[in-house]
């Protein structure tokens, strides 16, 4: 029986969040859980090693992997973790050159040839959704077969790279088995939400759909594409029940690219949650243009307590440049509806976009401070591989494309007409002005539900104070000396 170990490489809190590491979010690698469920179902002995959760360095990780005596190692990596993934592959190859290393994830999918050329210790790359591809690949490798007929891969042959035809997206997501959560470290011990990312404990994350039909210029939806597909409401309820029964999960954070695109499923899911009378609550993100007061009321009744919206900017010019296809008037209206429905309202903001100016930053600050928002997350704008903005960034300013720095917490892009200091100061200013208002402080004090919440809040508060009062956006040279 062939063995495969799926690996999530370690990325330290400082590497991921900078000075915000104390308040950072650490989620289970659900993509690996889906892949592991599929390989296990098809007869492969399967393991998951989440180095990130366990805090394992490359040496400790390689020792565990090799102790399993696998035939294959499948490593996932988003852009900031790609060097760590390559370092692990290099160490593994040094110790066992016969071990086949397979790379997957958003970064490889966005820039497959450049990635494989840069990191020669990866033998094969899986491009896009991997569940069907990985089974065909492992079965073919077991038989020493020809890989040319397998869609969605890049591999080495005689010193050259060969890319096969694209793999079609999976239409029926319900054909996939439930994620292999049991192969992870303890869900309730090794993973944590943000300090205001939950209402009850323990909490777990879910992905209930794939793809986003929007065309935002900054979004790297290369793996799941723009074709929206979803698990049925029955499948989602099955996932919730499994986690509730086996892990005691009481709060579910739904991290779909865009939740609730198809209203029929959202309504049915809410109705089923109401009918099941489970002692659970949940939160999700949503697009502004997909929300109505009626939907908000139903979501609230079904246990939803928080919704996050991608607002990005308070300048209509910037929203249009980013292809958001929403207006400031729509945003204001939906934020008011959400607050009126009794839900916590969170907004995601970006500062330093390609077309950013001092005027647009000030408009964003003004808009945020007068809006019906309870929480905001403000990030450095980051052009990710696979996005329109990554391709055109150098036309609009100075861009450091070092993959290690593309975390949204390092300042890698500065638009023409602005300076590093102006962007950093603006991010701190908007965060400080928003969170240090008496009404926001009182609202957050009312959101403390338990001692555990208080402990996370304290960590988040320390991170916030460091963030708004100290210079934080280090360049790579500053970090490495």
Q: Which residues contact 157 (CB under 8 A, 6 or more apart)?
A: none
Confidence class for position 10, pLDDT limits 50, 70, 90: confident
Residue 295: what pLDDT?
97
Query: 193-480 has which fold?
Result: pyruvate-formate lyase- activating enzyme (3.80.30)
- 471 has pLDDT over 70: no
Query: Average pLDDT over the chain, rounded to whole?
Result: 91
Lowest mean pLDDT of 1-15, 62-76, 385-399, 439-453, name the range: 439-453
Q: Where are the domains of the chain?
A: 3-163, 193-480
Query: 3-163 has which fold?
Result: Rossmann fold (3.40.50)
State the pTM of this model. 0.91
Residue 439: what pLDDT?
85
- The torsion region of residue 115 among left (phi > 0), alpha (psi -120 to 50) and beta comes to alpha
Mean pLDDT of 172-196: 92
- 143 has pLDDT over 80: yes
Residue 1: what pLDDT?
79
Burial 436-467 (b: 16+ CB within 10 A, else e): eeeebeeebeebeeeeebeebbebbeebbebb
Q: Which tokens belong to 324?
A: 């958001």
Lowest mean pLDDT of 180-189, 193-202, 259-268, 280-289, name the range: 193-202
Written as one string, the DSSP assignment of 291-355 is: --HHHHHHHHHTTEEEEEEEEE-S-HHHHHHTT----HHHHHHHHHHHHHTT-EEEEEEEES-TT
Please write the tens of the pLDDT for every residue from 195-216.
778 888 899 999 999 999 999 9
- 451 has pLDDT over 50: no
Confidence class for position 449, pLDDT limits 50, 70, 90: low
Please write the tens of the pLDDT for every residue from 298-320.
999 999 999 999 999 999 999 99
Residue 441: what pLDDT?
80
């Amino acid at each position: 029986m062939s063995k495969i170990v799926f690996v999530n490489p370690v990325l330290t809190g400082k590497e991921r969040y900078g000075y915000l590491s104390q308040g950072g979010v650490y989620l289970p690698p659900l993509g690996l859980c889906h892949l592991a469920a599929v390989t296990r179902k098809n007869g492969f002995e399967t393991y998951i090693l989440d180095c990130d959760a366990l805090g394992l360095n490359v040496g400790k990780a390689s020792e565990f992997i090799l102790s399993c005596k696998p035939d294959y190692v499948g490593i996932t990596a988003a852009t900031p973790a790609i060097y760590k993934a390559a370092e692990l592959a290099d160490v593994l190859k040094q110790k066992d050159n016969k071990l086949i290393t397979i790379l997957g994830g958003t970064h490889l999918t966005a820039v497959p040839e450049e990635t494989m050329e840069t990191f020669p210790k990866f033998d094969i790359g899986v491009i896009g959704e991997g569940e069907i591809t990985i089974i065909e690949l492992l079965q073919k490798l077991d038989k020493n077969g020809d890989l040319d007929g397998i869609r969605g891969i890049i591999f080495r042959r005689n010193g050259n790279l060969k890319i096969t035809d694209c793999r079609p997206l999976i239409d029926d997501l319900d054909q996939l088995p439930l994620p292999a959560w049991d192969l992870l470290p303890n869900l309730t011990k090794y993973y944590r939400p943000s300090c205001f990312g939950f209402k009850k404990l323990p909490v777990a994350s879910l992905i209930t759909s794939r793809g986003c039909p929007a065309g935002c210029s900054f979004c790297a939806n290369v793996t799941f594409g723009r074709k929206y597909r979803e698990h049925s409401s029955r499948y989602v309820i099955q996932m919730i029940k499994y986690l509730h029964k086996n892990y005691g999960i009481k709060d579910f954070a739904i991290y779909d690219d865009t939740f609730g695109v198809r209203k029929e499923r959202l309504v049915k899911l809410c109705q089923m949650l109401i009918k099941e009378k489970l002692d659970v609550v949940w939160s999700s993100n949503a697009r502004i243009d997909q929300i109505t007061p009626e939907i908000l009321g139903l979501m609230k009744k079904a246990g939803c307590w928080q919704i996050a919206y991608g607002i990005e900017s308070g300048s209509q010019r910037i929203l249009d440049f980013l292809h958001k296809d929403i207006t400031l008037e729509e945003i204001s209206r939906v934020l008011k509806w959400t607050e009126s429905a009794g839900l916590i309202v969170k907004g995601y903001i970006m500062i330093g976009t390609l077309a950013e100016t001092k005027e647009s930053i000030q408009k964003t600050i003004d808009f945020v401070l007068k809006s019906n928002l309870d929480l905001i997350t403000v990030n450095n704008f980051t052009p990710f591989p696979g996005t329109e903005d990554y391709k055109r960034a150098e036309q609009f300013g100075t861009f450091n494309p070092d993959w290690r720095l593309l975390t949204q917490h390092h300042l890698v892009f500065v638009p023409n007409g602005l300076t590093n200091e102006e962007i950093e100061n603006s991010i701190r200013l908007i965060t400080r002005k928003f969170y240090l208002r008496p009404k926001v402080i009182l609202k957050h004090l009312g959101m403390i539900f338990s001692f555990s919440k208080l402990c996370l809040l304290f960590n988040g508060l320390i991170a916030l104070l460091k963030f708004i009062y100290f210079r934080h956006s280090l360049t790579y040279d500053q970090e490495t000396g």
